């Protein structure tokens, strides 16, 4: 793969035909980069994706965010983008899935749904390019309040886009890979999932890797489906805070995944289920405790396999 | 009624609502209950409650305190529909136009407003949305409108919009989606529309789970099927309320062309007057004869078309006069061509149906309306010309009118200021605008692809405009018929049923990409929820049945010696196959040309039969005009040289000129006899004869310039006509040669002359006598010296196969051979049918359009809209923004940088290629500035067409290219440069209304392109697009609707 990396102010091309996209500007007939990053070309369009920047939202992205303010009829949410995102009162699903207009009573009771400093997962609904207002929505029951888990942030560049960002890893950890680099780790609500100890993972061949990935997909789909079914049939009060019992073992697994993500981030490696699994697996093989995983020398050992894979 | 299909099992109860009171109409009520829903019900309630629930489902009680009171007494069907709504469930109301479906919709709106929810009202056309908005605003107040052109009070509880807008909102997940309790789909039968129908399906599939629907439909026979689908996809019961009764009964009359009166054929009580019908038909027939007789006498050669036109012109005047005399006004005259509407209105130049007071009122309303327009636009011919007509109480209504004029006419019609309205089919839809009488001026219509007769569904819809509720006791429908009308067709029209509502689901890139943007949306899942899939699955049991039936039939057909038959026919087939292959090799010019000497007798395929004939000459196909026989004959050396070239050519490139003796006779005779006609006269002195003949001809033709070739040709044609036994000259392709005989006859090329004709005949006679039936054939290997390996192989194969064939020969000799063969062939046909059905069963079982979907995915991957994992890429996101034109093509254009060098005007002009242009056949001469850009986009169209072709999505590029037309480019360029609409309308022959429509679409497209440019981060491009939008949007084209 031919990757062109440019610095701020560097001339990308002097071809007259190319049209400029994000991260570029025109100067003296040359196309010049306005950020340091990787050049992307789509036909004649040239744009530069910055290596480190705030999150650049796109419609349909799954994000994790923190409520920063409760406004009249929407919540202000920090999703790590250049602008704040907003979650409208009408963009959430009311308990029981009732279809109706939001009243002033609803507006008074907004803190019953989400309070300041709470974490939520949501989807980007639309971006107004005039005012740069980012609107979020919680399209289905799988989005909403996040509790009883751990929060990690990484540069948004590192999150590799995939079909699903709601994942249940084979060791039973629920992983919400927000496209904005905010990651949530917890355990899924349903326990009837296939859970394997990491020591039983086999990832030496590509087919075994594939199997493991399939397992992730299967588990993730099942967990989401269960959640939806549950809420649909029982009119579950979705917004009530529920206490989950998380065992010590589960906590350790969550920690392991968290530190695996940090290790990957430290080496500036892409973060996606496979890379996380490889690091976790390596930590077992090398007999590294979760808490020791983020020691600098360990991080290098742990990510070696991922580096190999990417090459 | 239980659906046999296990996947879609449903409980359906059906019953007829009794007519208890006289003035109330009959209606039926059915309900589709999905199995899944019933099961959840069972888990929640005990048996008694379930029982109660089901009874209430089947007989929904009418509310004691209805939320909305009506000024009039409700019809039965309205009462039942309201009862269903009161249960909070979805309902389909299927009834005739203007029977009061809106009352049901209003109840749903009242309910939603009462429960502080939103309600969405969608209609198929912007103009209808405008009208509906006005109507509902008057009733409820809290009403907003969103169409592509305008947005008013978008925060209202009741939103009127076009279906496209709703669909876009659903894709976007707009907050309205989470607040909507009822979604009302007006004119849902539009779903069968080939190009736009899919929008309804998408909207219904994507609608939120907990929303309820109200579907208003013209009468459709399969409303229940539709309800079952809705019930299944949304897991909720769905009621069907349908009535066939019209609020005002109709009387149907026939008016025979050039007749003088109306013939009542079907009255209010559905009684068919057979003798009237027959009388009318007889009259038509007699008229026809008379007419032709007159023509013969006077000797006028009037074309039939013209005759009819003149006749019908008078006819329409007659009818209107009769109707006015009988006080049957107001009248709507439906034509199926817009030009015809206008032409008809001109016929009434001297009539005035309005009083002076009314005339003045018309003028006042009209003047008020057009005051909204710019002064320049007020002078448009269409506006200037229409007022005098309107003042006399005559109106025109068709899609070619400027929107504002159309609206004025609608208003005038509703006010009763228009007595005679000439309209097209578009008038049959939407708002309640009835007349006392509807006249059908002809029943042929152009439906986009071909001319056809109006079907009964359309007929029902259009005749629904007759009869004003509360004013008329009955409405009148008059059908003008001419002698082309089949009595049988007319009968079906009167008794006909409405057309079924069938899915016209199709896939679009925009749709797929929008879905792909979302987390874990499964495309297959969406497809499987479509009405298309549902209908396909429903067909399954039927197909299975057919399949079984056929299998049984085949098993029942017993043929003795079936295997032998099979072998026999198979062998025969194989021999033919191999022989064909051999022929192909043999007919290579390399082998065959040396033997095609002049006068050689050969056997060949000629048109549809096999013929014998003499070779005259051969030449290469493309040279057929210059390299004619004469020249070759005289220039022998030239021919030789030519020949060597020809040897390397393909058999399809060589023409052989041949002389066929007794062409017409041969066809009638047994092929074997033909041989007798051929002969070889090797002795004649060609050279001499030729010269002699030349002289002969010169004498015979007198003053003719003696151009032999010319006269031979002409002679040949004449001869054919004069005498069947005279030989014909023609040319065949070298590849059509079957056999080459050893016989060579010297041919006199001027066989045309009497002397030589005789000579030729004699020669043929001689051959006949000499060879009888066995004409010696050149052996392929020994004589033609074909040394092709394959040929020799085939040769041997045929020999073996022939031996096998001989074994079965006994079979052919038995008496029953003929009948058995027939039976056997029939059985094979059935087998083929079976295979076909099995194939369609396989297709129905699969996800619909699976192949197409995978092909489209291939295209998107190849062009980089999605990556190899199916994740949407930059290009895909851009394509999502474009829904008013070919999204892939426009995206490619943006990314190719073509727009970069163009100015704003050029951009607008280029974009105009992608909006549907008005129908026209004008020659387009692009102005210089636009030629180059157009070439560039043509290249892109070619490129994309190629990709589609390779991914098997289109059959040929030409067809794809035809979708884009430069016909608007000049006009748009002029418009953005500030030309007035008057100038524009002079530049084109298209209707003004069409131009306005195209311009509005173009403006929409430019807006989308501007957003797309913004998305890729190119502000210059974005500026250009939005500038173009501003330049487009002015004057009469974007004048707001009068209904707002």
Contacts of A165 (CB under 8 A, 6+ apart): A62, A176, A177, A178, A179, B519
Q: Are B989 and B920 in contact (CB under 8 A)?
A: yes
Is B318's Cβ below 8 Å from some Cβ in A? Answer: no
Q: Please tell me which of the candidates B116, B517, B896 has its beta carbon nearest to residue A103.
A: B116
Closest chain A residue by Cα to residue B865: A42
Q: How far apart are CA B847 and CA B325, in angstroms?
A: 61
pLDDT of residue A280 exceeding 50 = yes
Closest chain B residue by Cα to residue A96: B210
Q: Are B226 and B197 in contact (CB under 8 A)?
A: no
Is B992's Cβ below 8 Å from some Cβ in A? Answer: no
Bridge partners, B15 (sequence order)? B29
Is A243's Cβ below 8 Å from some Cβ in B? Answer: no
Closest chain B residue by Cα to residue A93: B178
- How are strands ordered across the β-sheet holding A166-168? A150-153, A182-186, A174-177, A166-168
Q: Are B863 and B875 in contact (CB under 8 A)?
A: yes
pLDDT of residue A302 exceeding 50 = yes
pLDDT reported for residue B662: 58
CB within 8 Å of chain A, chain B residues 827-886? 864, 869-875, 877, 880
Instruction: Tell me the three state secondary structure of residue B640.
Output: helix
* Predicted confidence (pLDDT) per residue in B252-294, tens digit: 888 877 666 777 877 777 777 777 777 777 777 665 544 444 4
- Of B116, B519, B872, B907, which to mutate for an interface test with A (greatest number of A Cβ within 10 Å)? B519
pLDDT of residue B706 exceeding 50 = no
Report chain B residues whose CB lies below 8 A from the CB of A100.
115-118, 179, 181
Q: Between these two residues, A138 and A64, which has the higher pLDDT value?
A: A64
Most confident among A197-201, A262-266, B384-388, B545-549 (mean pLDDT): A262-266
B20 band by pLDDT with thresholds 50, 70 and 90:
very low
Both structure tokens of B476: 């009148």
pLDDT reported for residue B672: 40
Bridge partners, B94 (sequence order)? B217, B242
- Are B875 and A42 in contact (CB < 8 Å)? yes
Closest chain B residue by Cα to residue A87: B175
Closest chain A residue by Cα to residue B522: A163
Is A45's Cβ below 8 Å from some Cβ in B? Answer: yes
Q: Please tell me which of the candidates A58, A139, A233 has its beta carbon nearest to residue B877.
A: A58
Helix or strand (DSSP H, E) at A70: strand A62-70
Q: What is the model's pTM?
A: 0.74
The alpha carbon of residue A295 is apart from the nearest alpha carbon of chain B, in Å, by: 35
A78 phi, psi to nearest 5 deg: -90, 115
CB within 8 Å of chain A, chain B residues 514-533? 517-520
Closest chain A residue by Cα to residue B156: A101
Report chain A residues whose CB lies below 8 A from the CB of B880.
59
Q: How far apart are CA B557 and CA B2, in angstroms?
A: 35
* Predicted confidence (pLDDT) per residue in B140-168, tens digit: 888 889 887 788 888 888 899 989 889 88
The alpha carbon of residue A65 is apart from the nearest alpha carbon of chain B, in Å, by: 17
The alpha carbon of residue B947 is apart from the nearest alpha carbon of chain A, in Å, by: 16
Closest chain B residue by Cα to residue A162: B871
B307 band by pLDDT with thresholds 50, 70 and 90:
low
- Ordered DSSP codes for B446-502: E-SSSEEEPPHHHHHHHHTTB--TTT-SSEEEEEEE-TTS-HHHHHHHHHPPPPP--
Instruction: Tell me the three state secondary structure of residue B136.
Output: helix
CB within 8 Å of chain B, chain A residues 13-32? 17-24
Report chain A residues whose CB lies below 8 A from the CB of B180.
99
* Predicted confidence (pLDDT) per residue in A105-134, tens digit: 888 888 888 888 889 999 898 888 778 889
DSSP percent split of chain A into helix, strand, coil, nearest 5:
30, 25, 40
Q: What is the 3-state secondary structure (H, E, C) of A156-223?
A: HHHECCCCCCEEECCCCCEEEECCCCEEEEECCCCCCCCCCCHHHCCCCCHHHHHHHHHHHHHHHHHH
DSSP percent split of chain B into helix, strand, coil, nearest 5:
55, 15, 30
- Ordered DSSP codes for B501-561: --------HHHHHHHHTSTT--HHHHHHTSHHHHHHHHHHHHHHHHHHHHHHHHHH---TT
The alpha carbon of residue A44 is apart from the nearest alpha carbon of chain B, in Å, by: 5
Q: How far apart are CA B1007 and CA B882, in angstroms?
A: 9
B648 band by pLDDT with thresholds 50, 70 and 90:
low
Contacts of B547 (CB under 8 A, 6+ apart): B834, B837, B838, B841
Bridge partners, B744 (sequence order)? B600
* Predicted confidence (pLDDT) per residue in B441-490, tens digit: 877 777 666 777 777 777 887 888 888 777 778 888 888 877 667 777 77
Q: How far apart are CA B540 and CA B812, in angstroms?
A: 43
Sign (positive/negative) of CA torsion A35, A39, A40, A44? positive
Residue B353: half-sphere exposure toward Cβ, Cα within 13 Å: 25
pLDDT of residue B27 exceeding 90 = no
Closest chain B residue by Cα to residue A74: B175
Q: Are B136 and B107 in contact (CB under 8 A)?
A: no
Q: What is the mean pLDDT of residues B965-972?
A: 80
- Ordered DSSP codes for B860-923: HHHTTSB-TTS-B-HHHHHHHT--SS-HHHHHHHHHHTGGGGS-HHHHHHHHGGGSPPPS----
pLDDT reported for residue A152: 92
Options 3.20.10.10, 2.40.50.100, 3.40.50.150, 3.10.20.600; CATH of A5-50: 2.40.50.100
Options 1.10.510.10, 2.40.50.140, 3.40.50.1370, 3.30.1370.110; CATH of A52-146: 2.40.50.140
The alpha carbon of residue A147 is apart from the nearest alpha carbon of chain B, in Å, by: 22
Indicate the domain borders of chain A.
5-50, 52-146, 147-311
Is B900's Cβ below 8 Å from some Cβ in A? Answer: yes
Percent above pLDDT 90 for chain B: 1
Q: Are B175 and A91 in contact (CB under 8 A)?
A: yes
* Predicted confidence (pLDDT) per residue in B602-630, tens digit: 877 776 677 777 777 777 655 434 344 44
Q: Please tell me which of the candidates B870, B872, B1016 has its beta carbon nearest to residue A45.
A: B1016
pLDDT reported for residue A201: 61
Question: What are the Cα distances from residue A267, in Å, to A158, A294, B35?
Answer: 10, 11, 54
Is A237's Cβ below 8 Å from some Cβ in B? Answer: no
Q: Are B202 and B167 in contact (CB under 8 A)?
A: yes
Both structure tokens of B75: 């019809």
Cα-based angle B206, A106, A64 (whole degrees, multiple of 5): 60
CB within 8 Å of chain A, chain B residues 165-184? 172-176, 178-181
Q: Please tell me which of the candidates B175, B208, B209 has its beta carbon nearest to residue A91.
A: B175
Neighbours of A153 (CB within 10 A): 15
Q: What is the mean pLDDT of residues B174-189?
A: 85
The alpha carbon of residue A165 is apart from the nearest alpha carbon of chain B, in Å, by: 7
CB pairs under 8 A between A and B: 116
Is B42's Cβ below 8 Å from some Cβ in A? Answer: no
pLDDT reported for residue B695: 40
Bridge partners, B123 (sequence order)? B162
Is B1017's Cβ below 8 Å from some Cβ in A? Answer: yes
A182 band by pLDDT with thresholds 50, 70 and 90:
very high
pLDDT reported for residue B596: 75
Q: How far apart are CA B164 and CA B146, in angstroms?
A: 10
Strand ranges (DSSP E) for B319-360? Answer: 331-334
Task: Report the complex ipTM.
Answer: 0.84
The alpha carbon of residue A17 is apart from the nearest alpha carbon of chain B, in Å, by: 7
Contacts of A250 (CB under 8 A, 6+ apart): A172, A173, A187
Q: Do domains A5-50 and A52-146 have the same CATH topology?
A: yes
Residue B455: half-sphere exposure toward Cβ, Cα within 13 Å: 7
pLDDT reported for residue B95: 84
Is B486's Cβ below 8 Å from some Cβ in A? Answer: no
B936 band by pLDDT with thresholds 50, 70 and 90:
confident
> Which class for B767: exposed (0-12), middle (13-18), buried (19 or more C-beta within 10 A)?
buried
pLDDT of residue B423 exceeding 80 = yes
Report chain B residues whose CB lies below 8 A from the CB of A62.
519
Closest chain A residue by Cα to residue B515: A60
Q: Please tell me which of the candidates A44, A58, A164 has its beta carbon nearest to residue B896.
A: A44
pLDDT of residue A64 exceeding 90 = yes
Closest chain B residue by Cα to residue A127: B1015
């Amino acid at each position: 793969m031919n990757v062109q990396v440019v610095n701020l102010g560097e001339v990308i091309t002097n071809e007259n035909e190319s049209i400029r996209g994000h991260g570029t500007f025109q100067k003296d007939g040359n196309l010049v980069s306005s950020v340091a990053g990787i050049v992307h070309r789509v036909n004649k369009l040239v744009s530069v994706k910055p290596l480190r920047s705030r999150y650049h939202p796109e419609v349909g992205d799954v994000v994790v965010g923190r409520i920063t303010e409760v406004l009249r009829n929407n919540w202000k949410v920090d999703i790590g983008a250049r602008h704040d995102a907003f979650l409208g009162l009408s963009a959430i699903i009311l308990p029981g899935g009732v279809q109706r207009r939001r009243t002033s009573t609803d507006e008074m009771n907004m803190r019953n749904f989400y309070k300041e400093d709470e974490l939520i997962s949501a989807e980007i609904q639309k971006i107004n390019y005039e005012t740069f207002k980012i609107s979020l929505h919680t399209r289905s029951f799988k989005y909403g309040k996040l509790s009883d888990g751990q929060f990690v942030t990484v540069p948004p560049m590192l999150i590799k886009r995939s079909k699903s960002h709601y994942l249940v890893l084979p060791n039973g950890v629920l992983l919400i890979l927000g496209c904005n680099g905010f990651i949530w780790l917890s355990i899924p609500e349903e326990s009837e999932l296939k859970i394997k100890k990491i020591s039983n993972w086999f990832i030496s061949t590509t087919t075994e890797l594939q199997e493991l990935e399939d397992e992730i997909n299967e588990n993730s789909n099942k967990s989401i489906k269960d959640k939806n079914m549950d809420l649909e049939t029982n009119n579950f009060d979705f917004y009530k805070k529920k206490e989950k019992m998380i065992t010590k073992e589960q906590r350790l697994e969550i920690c392991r995944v968290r530190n695996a993500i940090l290790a990957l981030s430290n080496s500036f490696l892409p973060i996606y289920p496979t890379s996380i699994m490889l690091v976790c697996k390596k930590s077992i093989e090398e007999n590294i405790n979760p808490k020791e995983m983020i020691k600098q020398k360990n991080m290098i050992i742990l990510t070696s396999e991922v580096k190999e894979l990417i090459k | 009624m239980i659906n046999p299909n296990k996947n879609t099992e449903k409980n359906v109860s059906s019953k007829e609502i009794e007519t208890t009171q006289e003035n109330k109409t009959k209606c039926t009520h059915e309900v589709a209950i999905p199995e899944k829903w019933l099961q959840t019900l069972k888990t929640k309630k005990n048996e008694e409650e379930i029982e109660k629930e089901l009874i209430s489902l089947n007989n929904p009680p009418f509310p004691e305190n209805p939320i909305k009171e009506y000024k009039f007494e409700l019809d039965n069907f309205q009462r039942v529909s309201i009862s269903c709504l009161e249960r909070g469930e979805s309902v389909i109301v299927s009834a005739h136009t203007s029977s009061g479906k809106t009352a049901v919709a209003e109840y749903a709106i009242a309910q939603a407003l009462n429960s502080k929810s939103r309600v969405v009202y969608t209609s198929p056309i912007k103009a209808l949305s405008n009208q509906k908005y006005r109507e509902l605003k008057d009733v409820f107040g809290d009403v907003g409108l969103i169409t592509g052109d305008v947005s008013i009070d978008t925060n209202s509880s009741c939103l009127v919009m076009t279906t496209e807008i709703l669909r876009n909102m659903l894709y976007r997940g707009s907050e309205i989606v989470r607040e909507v309790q009822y979604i009302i789909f007006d004119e849902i039968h539009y779903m069968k529309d080939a190009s736009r129908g899919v929008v309804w399906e998408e909207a219904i599939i994507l609608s939120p789970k907990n929303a309820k629907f109200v579907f208003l439909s013209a009468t459709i026979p399969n409303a229940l099927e539709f309800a079952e689908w809705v019930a299944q996809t949304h897991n909720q019961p769905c009621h069907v309320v349908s009535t066939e009764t019209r609020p005002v009964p109709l009387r149907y009359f026939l008016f025979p062309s050039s007749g003088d009166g109306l013939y009542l054929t079907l009255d209010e009580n559905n009684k068919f007057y057979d003798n009237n019908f027959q009388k009318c038909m007889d009259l038509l027939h007699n008229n026809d004869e008379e007419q032709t007789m007159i023509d013969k006498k006077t000797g006028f050669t009037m074309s039939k078309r013209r005759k009819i036109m003149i006749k019908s012109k008078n006819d329409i005047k007659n009818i209107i006069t009769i109707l006015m005399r009988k006080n049957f006004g107001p009248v709507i005259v439906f034509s199926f061509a817009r030009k015809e509407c206008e032409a008809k209105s001109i016929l009434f130049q001297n009539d005035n149906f309005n009083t002076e007071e009314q005339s003045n009122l018309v003028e006042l309303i009209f003047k008020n309306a057009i005051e909204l327009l710019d002064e320049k636009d007020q002078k448009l011919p269409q506006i200037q010309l229409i007022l005098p007509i309107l003042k006399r109480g005559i109106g025109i209504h068709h899609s070619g009118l400027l929107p504002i004029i159309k609206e004025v006419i609608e208003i005038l019609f509703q006010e009763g200021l228009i007595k005679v309205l000439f309209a097209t089919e578009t008038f049959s839809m939407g708002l309640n605008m009835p007349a006392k009488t509807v006249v059908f001026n002809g029943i042929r219509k152009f439906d986009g692809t071909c001319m056809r007769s109006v079907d009964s569904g359309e007929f029902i819809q259009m005749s629904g405009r007759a009869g004003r509720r509360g004013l008329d006791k009955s409405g009148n429908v008059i059908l003008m018929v001419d002698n082309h009308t089949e009595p049988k067709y007319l009968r079906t029209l009167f008794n006909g049923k409405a057309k079924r509502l069938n899915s016209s689901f199709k896939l679009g890139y925009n749709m797929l990409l929008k879905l792909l943007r979302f987390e874990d949306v499964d495309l297959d899942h969406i497809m499987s929820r479509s009405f298309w899939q549902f209908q396909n699955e429903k067909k399954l049991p039927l197909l299975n049945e057919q399949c079984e039936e056929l299998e049984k039939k085949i098993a029942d057909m017993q043929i003795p010696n079936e295997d032998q038959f099979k072998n026999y026919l198979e062998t025969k087939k194989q021999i033919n196959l191999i022989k064909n292959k051999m022929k192909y090799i043999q007919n290579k010019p390399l082998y065959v040309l040396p033997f095609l000497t002049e006068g050689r007798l050969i056997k060949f395929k000629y048109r549809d039969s096999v013929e014998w004939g003499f070779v005259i000459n051969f030449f290469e196909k493309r040279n057929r005009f210059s390299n004619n026989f004469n020249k070759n004959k005289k220039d022998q050396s030239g021919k030789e040289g030519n020949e060597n070239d020809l040897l390397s050519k393909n058999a399809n490139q060589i023409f052989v000129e041949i002389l066929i003796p007794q062409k017409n006779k041969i066809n009638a005779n047994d092929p074997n006899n033909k041989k007798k006609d051929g002969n070889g006269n090797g002795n004649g002195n060609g050279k001499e004869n030729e010269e002699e003949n030349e002289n002969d001809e010169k004498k015979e033709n007198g003053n003719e310039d003696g151009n032999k070739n010319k006269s031979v040709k002409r002679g040949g044609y004449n001869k054919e006509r004069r005498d069947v036994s005279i030989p014909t000259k023609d040319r065949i392709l070298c590849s059509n040669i079957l056999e080459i005989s050893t016989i060579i006859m010297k041919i006199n090329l001027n066989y045309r002359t009497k002397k030589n004709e005789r000579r030729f005949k004699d020669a043929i006679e001689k051959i006949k006598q000499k060879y009888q039936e066995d004409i010696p054939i050149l052996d392929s290997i020994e004589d033609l010296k074909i040394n092709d390996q394959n040929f020799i192989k085939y040769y041997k194969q045929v020999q073996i196969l022939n031996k096998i064939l001989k074994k079965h020969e006994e079979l052919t000799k038995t008496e029953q051979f003929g009948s058995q063969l027939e039976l056997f062939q029939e059985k094979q046909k059935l087998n083929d049918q079976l295979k076909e059905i099995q194939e369609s069963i396989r297709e129905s079982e699969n996800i619909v359009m699976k192949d197409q979907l995978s092909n489209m995915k291939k295209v998107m991957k190849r062009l980089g809209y999605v990556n190899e994992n199916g994740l949407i890429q930059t290009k895909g996101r851009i394509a999502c923004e474009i829904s008013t034109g070919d999204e892939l093509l426009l995206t490619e254009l943006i990314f190719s940088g073509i727009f970069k060098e163009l100015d704003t005007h050029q951009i607008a002009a280029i974009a105009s290629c992608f909006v549907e242009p008005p129908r026209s056949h004008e020659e387009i001469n692009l102005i210089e500035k636009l030629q180059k850009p157009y070439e560039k986009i043509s290249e892109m169209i070619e490129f994309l067409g190629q990709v589609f072709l390779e991914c098997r999505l289109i059959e040929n590029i030409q067809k794809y290219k035809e979708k884009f037309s430069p016909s608007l480019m000049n006009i748009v360029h002029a418009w953005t440069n500030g030309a007035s609409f008057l100038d524009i309308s002079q530049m084109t022959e298209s209707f003004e209304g069409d131009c306005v429509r195209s311009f509005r679409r173009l403006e929409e497209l430019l807006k989308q392109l501007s957003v797309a440019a913004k998305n890729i981060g190119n502000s210059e491009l974005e500026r250009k697009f939005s500038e173009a939008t501003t330049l487009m949007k002015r004057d009469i084209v974007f004048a707001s609707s009068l209904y707002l």
